[in-house]
Structure 1
Amino acid sequence: MKIKELTLLTHKLLQEKIFYTKTLGFELVNEDLNSFSVKVGWSILTFQESNDQHNYHYCFLIPSNNLNEALHWVEKKWNIIEMEDSQKTVHFDTWNADSFYFHDASGNIAEFIVRYDMNNPGDAEFDVESILCVNEIGLPTTDIQQLSFVLEDNLGIKFWKGDMNRFGTVGSQEGLFLLPNYNLKKTWFPTELNIQPDPLNITIEINENTIELQYLNGEIEILSDKLIKN
């Protein structure tokens, strides 16, 4: 599964635009009075203006040999979230992955991740063009089993790792939906940011289909389903 487009709501549209286009240097590919979009590898990340504050967790995939280079690249421009003992990176044994985290301009939790099982090293000095895609997005729920069943039954998206009680994942290493049960898991690691089912739109590519989804009130709705034409 690939996340081709992700649309999030923000109460700080201008600040978010400055952060992504000026501070980090992503390419601006679309803009109107109420939204803007930047290119993130094979993904498009869009922020749409809202009067309310929303809490999201999303993640960018980077080449498997670029963890430290990406960390230094970001921390020259923005603050990295420090964890225990002032550590800035964390290793996930069961995922065979390393990550670091930062707040975007709206206060969301953004993450860079390397997935060593993908064996996808970069061959150039790390910069914004090295970022491969939007790799993860959180879809909080009160019923992981039901939401994962809906995704597999309707879209063929398989459960990946985790459990059906507190925190599960569906998709593949190219693109994942994170399914925390926000009645049990209250905050996004490694912060105290509350997990809540804020609305978003996603376009994914899976099994030669491009599918547009709306996530609202903890539920997924299929908006369109198109066969990819070669």
Structure 2
Amino acid sequence: MLYWKQYESGVDPLFKSVTFYTDQLAAMRRFYGNILELEITERAEDRFTVRFGTTDVTFVAVQRPAYYHFAISIPGNQFSMLKYWIQDRVPLNWEDGVDEVYFRAFDADSMYFEDPAGNIVELIGRRKKDVYGDISRSSFLNISEVGLVTRDVSQAGQKLFDAGLPLRGTDLEPDDLNFIGSGDSYFVLVPQGRRWYFSKKAAEIHPLGAVLTNGTEFLLDDEGTISHSTCGE
């Protein structure tokens, strides 16, 4: 039987670092460093790391194309300003004739775009999180969603529950989005083949890694199987 805890708010950001893979390393480094003007904290021949507020994201070079969904929290009061700022740099994605959406359940506004590797990137403005001043690197607060694609949602969900992560809601939905995490940060667990919102792309399984702020490390392999451990084990 699946086990979960109820969603709790007021928790610190979940993700300390995330690792994705790409066959477009040079273009991705230019995009995040030069186009979005974010801080590149590590540069190597086969990887680079970009800082999104409290979360470091590393892109590692591979031969096989890969794309993911992830969300970046931004201040709610800067949503409109950041929308204009982003549109000068990259086209926004559209869904049902609009290029932004309000999620009542999260009290947040979102916009979406794709980077050179085809990642579906969401900027989500939390209406109760304000930052005053001009648009800057500090407007990118943290990675707040990481998509996990699997063939078996129930089995993958149980792995996350076993690690102590709560489900937002009451039941896992095997054919839909499942938000598993705490505060405003989640793994978004989805079945292979489900279309990503604000995209024409179906969810594909690609390996990734994520280290949480409590030291737990999660790995997703090529088969969509999740494993976890405490960093240093």
TM-score by length of 1: 0.89
- 1:128-163 deviations in Å (ceiling 9; x for gaps): 22110011110012332322221112x210001474
C-alpha distance in 2 between matches for 1:173 and 1:20: 26
Q: How does 1:85-104 map to 2 (within 5 A)?
A: 85=97, 87-104=98-115
User: Which residue does the alignment assign to 2:191?
Assistant: 181
C-alpha distance in 2 between matches for 1:10 and 1:106: 7
C-alpha distance in 1 between matches for 2:183 and 2:74: 12
Aligned 8 A contact 2:70 2:145 in 1: yes
For residue 192 of structure 1, what is the amino acid of its counterpart?
Answer: K
Gap regions ≥5 residues in structure 1: none
Gap regions ≥5 residues in structure 2: 1-12
User: Which residue does the alignment assign to 1:115?
Assistant: 126
| Aligned pairs, number | 218
In the alignment, structure 1 residue 62 sits paired with structure 2 residue 74:
yes
Among 215, 220, 223, the alignment partner of 1:210 is 215
- 1:163-206 deviations in Å (ceiling 9; x for gaps): 422221100243210011225x2x2111111201110011112x
Per-residue deviation, 1:48:
0.5
C-alpha distance in 2 between matches for 1:127 and 1:82: 25
C-alpha distance in 1 between matches for 2:100 and 2:134: 20
C-alpha distance in 2 between matches for 1:3 and 1:29: 17
User: Which residue does the alignment assign to 1:172?
Assistant: 182
Aligned 8 A contact 1:70 1:127 in 2: no
Range that drifts further, 14-23 or 60-69: 60-69
Q: CA RMSD in A?
A: 1.8
- 1:61-119 deviations in Å (ceiling 9; x for gaps): 0112121111111111111112323x210112222221000001111100100233xx2
Q: How does 1:129-140 map to 2 (within 5 A)?
A: 129-140=138-149
In the alignment, structure 1 residue 200 sits paired with structure 2 residue 208:
yes
Aligned 8 A contact 1:62 1:131 in 2: yes
For residue 128 of structure 1, what is the amino acid of its counterpart?
Answer: R
Per-residue deviation, 1:223:
4.2
In the alignment, structure 1 residue 106 sits paired with structure 2 residue 112:
no
C-alpha distance in 1 between matches for 2:205 and 2:212: 19
Range that drifts further, 11-20 or 62-71: 62-71
Aligned 8 A contact 1:58 1:109 in 2: yes
**Larger strand proportion of the pair:** 1
Among 204, 220, 225, the alignment partner of 2:231 is 225
Distance 1:61 1:151, change over 3 A: same
Please give the secondary structure, in 1, of the residue aligned with 2:160.
helix
For residue 222 of structure 1, what is the amino acid of its counterpart?
Answer: H
